[in-house]
Amino acid sequence: MQSMTFRVTLIEVDSETVSESRGRNRLLLEEGTVVCGYRIGKVIGRGGMATVYDAWDVRRDCPVALKIMPRGGRPASKARFEREARHAATIRHKNVVRIFDLGSLPDGRSYLTMERLFGLPLSRWLGTGHVFTVRQLNEIITPLFRAVGAVHTAGLVHRDIKPGNLFITSEGAFKLIDFGLSIGGHGPRLTREGQVVGTPVYVSPEQVLGEPIDFRTDVYAIGMTMWTLATGRSPFDENRPFADIFVDAVQNVPPLASEHADVPCVLADVLAKMYRKKPSDRYATIADAAQAWRTAYASLDLD
């Protein structure tokens, strides 16, 4: 795959972040120790569900990212964590993060290991005020279509496509990450009736309304993600309560052409069909959306 035309700066979490993590009793592992066959390095990420370490797989002799759940998590959170590992492990694609292992620490906390990625998620680019060019949008959506196509071929719906889960490595490669909300055709549903999961801006109207979801839910999220990358901002006011944002999600999204004139109309039209309110009005498959985008992009003269 050709490297993208923009590069990333490597980042580490700062000491304040690590202090917060200690303060929340996340039982940080000591750097340099070997746990379950992994030599522990620095904390490189922290979220509401897990702490991620830079680690070395002693058996495979390679770097990995070690993701560990906090102690005392809810059963549903543990189930989602384990589901992430199982679902992602079924996919072998260069644009999807690879999962290596799932297990439990001696103290009972669940962990998983995945390929170590160096770079930044696209959400960090947005945080700098970066607005992506048309070429960059193409360089993002093309491997994104391929990655989500592999996910759908495996019978899964990702359900959490957003800039924070799209990762650009320091070499310019694209990776789709975080399968914690993905669902398949088998196994129990881990979301209570009436409960909405996901990031409000990218959650499809059918998810908000509690209606059945399918692959077109991911089509919607890709369209909304590209809208955000093209404009450098959210289509909705994220400072308002989540409930209000969800209300916006079932209404019409502002036309991209009225927000960012640099996106050609033929591309804006493709994205608009992807994030239409009714699933039946969207592209039926990722392959259909990808073909429409390729045709529109090929018609442009960007020289």
Phi, psi (deg, nearest 5) at residue 100: -100, -40
Give the count of beta carbons closer than 10 Å to the beta carbon of residue 44: 19
Give the count of beta carbons closer than 10 Å to the beta carbon of residue 25: 10
Phi, psi (deg, nearest 5) at residue 73: -70, 160
Give me the sign of the Cα torsion angle 132, 146, 3, 12: positive
Q: Which two tokens stand for residue 63?
A: 């770097």
To the query of whether residue 214 is one of the catalytic residues in this protein, the response is no
Give the residues across from 184 on adjacent strands: 156
From the list 160, 178, 218, 248, the catalytic residue is 160
Distance CA 108, CA 27 (A): 12
Distance CA 177, CA 187 (A): 21
What 3-state DSSP class applies to 96?
Answer: strand
The catalytic residues are 160
